[in-house]
């Protein structure tokens, strides 16, 4: 029996990611033999007797107590994503921001310092620049590709370095390994937001990241019907997060949402293939259109960090940013002309989504911070979906044509 079990474990270690998105963590022991993961839609778990309840609360016996503290469905999701990212464990949260807050606050106290990439999601920026400041934690926002600037920003009380790559919204890349080398040997954790890539396209642990966080709302779920987050790391770090910040903030995921993400993960590999194929075609179209001033997409040869594809990243992903000719009013006019593509924030859904970062996702930035991060008034972000690429391009084409005609008339 033991030899058979060890053989199965060895086989699992050799599984490719396309197999792991379906099978990893699916060791549920359903008495009825259900193929699909059971949904444990329960708030609490009953104990066999008072001694068992006491033992579980004391940590002397493994088992479930209350779904805020752990749930079998949630545990299966955590195990699967941890295996995909190559970490020992994971903690699922009610939102991506819940995961980010939990995995940063747990290592910080008043008087500490953190270094953050100068281009990140707007709510992450607000968390670090405003809320953390109120509690005595200072954040410096630095171009992390400038290793000298990173080195100079580090202080004796620096506890974390946080980055996104590709960065939201204009796809700036950060060399994770280079950042890891700068902070090596210091008591500093490196946290990477891997939402845009998913573990199928990028595994930050291989480049030296201590923790990896996802907005599971996006590609991991893939269907626009869940808000969730997840953080992966060592068993020790994840146990600390689960036992303190995540538990006490109450930002844990609901079992039903965990179940929906488990279902969505099964198609992650095939979805990412289509997302990426479509994005390449859309990017090629956009770079040739006269109404587009600039396209930001790591898959283009002129992207400043295109060389990271094939080393840090397997593909450029499915998010594209572009700057339009004109001004903010022109950008808004363009967005209003779209007929198929919804004007909506988020990404990773089956639908192609488009939004205006300066007035939407990155509105928490000050004008100065937006300028520093390169988020202009004409910047538009496209999350390329799963529709036929020709139909996506046709909708962009007609909206760009109408927008360009308007600009020529008003210029």
Burial class of 234 by CB neighbour count within 10 A (0 to 12, 13 to 18, 19+): middle
Q: How far is Cα 217 from Cα 130, in angstroms, rounded to an integer?
A: 24
Catalytic annotation on 68?
A: yes
Write the DSSP string, 229-260.
EEEEE-HHHHHHHHHTHHHHHT-BPPHHHHHH
Output helix, strand, coil percentages for the chain, rounded to the nearest 5.
45, 15, 40
Burial class of 52 by CB neighbour count within 10 A (0 to 12, 13 to 18, 19+): middle
The DSSP bridge partners found for residue 214 are 230
Burial class of 89 by CB neighbour count within 10 A (0 to 12, 13 to 18, 19+): buried
List the catalytic residue out of 112, 140, 175, 193: 193
List the catalytic residue out of 40, 121, 296, 297: 121
**Residue 333 half-sphere exposure, CB side, CA atoms within 13 Å?**
17
Sign of CA dihedral 153, 112, 210, 217: negative
Identify whether the C-beta of residue 347 lies closer than 8 Å to the C-beta of residue 196.
yes
Catalytic annotation on 193?
A: yes
List the catalytic residue out of 68, 263, 293, 406: 68
The DSSP letter of residue 114 is E
The DSSP letter of residue 130 is I
Identify whether the C-beta of residue 281 lies closer than 8 Å to the C-beta of residue 393.
yes
List the catalytic residue out of 159, 218, 242, 271: 218
- Catalytic annotation, residues: 68, 121, 193, 218
């Amino acid at each position: 029996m033991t030899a058979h079990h060890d053989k199965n474990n060895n086989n699992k270690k050799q599984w490719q990611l396309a197999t792991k998105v379906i099978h990893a963590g699916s060791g549920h022991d359903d008495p009825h033999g259900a193929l699909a993961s059971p949904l444990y839609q329960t708030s609490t778990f009953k104990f066999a007797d008072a001694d068992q309840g006491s033992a579980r609360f004391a940590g002397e016996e493994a088992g479930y107590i209350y779904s805020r503290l752990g749930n079998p469905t949630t545990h299966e999701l955590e195990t699967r994503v941890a295996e995909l990212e190559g970490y020992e464990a994971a903690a699922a949260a009610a939102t991506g921001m819940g995961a980010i807050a939990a995995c940063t606050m747990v290592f910080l106290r008043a008087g500490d310092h953190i270094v953050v990439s100068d281009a990140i999601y707007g709510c992450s920026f607000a968390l670090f620049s405003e809320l953390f400041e109120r509690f005595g934690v200072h954040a410096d926002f630095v171009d992390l590709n400038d290793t000298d600037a990173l080195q100079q920003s580090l202080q004796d009380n620096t506890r974390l370095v946080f980055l996104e790559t590709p960065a939201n919204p204009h796809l700036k890349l950060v060399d994770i390994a280079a950042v890891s080398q700068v902070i090596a040997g210091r008591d500093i954790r490196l946290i990477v937001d891997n939402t845009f890539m998913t573990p199928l396209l990028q595994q930050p642990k291989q480049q030296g990241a201590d923790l990896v966080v996802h907005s599971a709302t996006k590609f991991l779920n893939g269907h626009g019907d869940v808000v969730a987050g997840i953080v992966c790391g060592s068993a020790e770090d994840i146990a600390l997060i689960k036992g303190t910040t995540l538990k006490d903030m109450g930002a844990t995921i609901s079992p039903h949402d965990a179940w929906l993400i488990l279902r969505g993960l099964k198609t992650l590999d095939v979805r990412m293939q289509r997302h990426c194929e479509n994005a390449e075609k859309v990017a090629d179209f956009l770079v040739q259109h006269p109404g587009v001033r600039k396209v930001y997409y790591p898959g283009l040869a002129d992207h400043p960090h295109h060389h990271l594809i094939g080393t840090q990243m397997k593909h450029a992903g499915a998010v594209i940013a572009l700057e339009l000719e004109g001004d903010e009013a022109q950008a808004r006019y363009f967005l209003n002309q779209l007929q198929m593509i919804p004007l909506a924030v988020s990404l990773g859904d089956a639908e192609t989504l488009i939004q205006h970062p300066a007035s939407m996702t990155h509105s928490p930035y000050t004008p100065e911070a937006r300028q520093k991060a390169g988020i202009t008034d004409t910047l538009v972000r496209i999350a390329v979906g799963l529709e036929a690429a020709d139909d996506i391009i046709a909708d962009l084409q007609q909206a760009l044509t109408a927008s360009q005609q308007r600009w020529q008339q008003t210029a």
